[in-house]
Amino acid sequence: MANKIAILNGPNLNLLGNREGDIYGSIGLAEIEAACADECERFGFELEFFQTNSEGDLVTLIQDAGAVCAGLIINPAAYTHTSVAIHDAIRAINIPVIEVHLSNIFARESFRHHSYVSPVATGTICGLGPTGYILAIGALATQIPEEQ
């Protein structure tokens, strides 16, 4: 069986392709999921892909991924800057975690410059649009031991 990875997406990412195109581009979340599925296949990963607007649901998805996945990619969106609960959930799991942001959070409003996720993530990719997800899958491939 392939190594399973989860890609979790936070609030408002379901609106990609329809919101703030100058910041987030014109590609929707379904297109990002399809590109991620292709890249996961290349690395032999089984993919679980989720989006939720609920902080509590995101915490539960992180905990669930920690129990059944070999790695996690998370775009916590606005919760990046506010959620100690997401920080604690990531800290509690024992798998590599890559934080992804479509925009460069450090080139935006000052309140977006702080991430509660970065200190507990294996790595962070930001500002590269949907390509960041593809790069994160490759990064996980370097962090997950090959199956025996």
* Annotated active-site residue in 79, 101, 116, 133: 101
Q: How many angstroms separate the CA atoms of 32 and 80, rounded? A: 20
Angle at 23 between CA 19 and CA 29, to 5 degrees: 55
Q: Is 114 a catalytic residue?
A: no
* Annotated active-site residue in 24, 79, 116, 133: 24
Q: Is 101 a catalytic residue?
A: yes
Tokens found for residue 103? 């925009």
> Over the Cα atoms of the chain, what is R_g?
14
State the catalytic residues. Answer: 24, 101
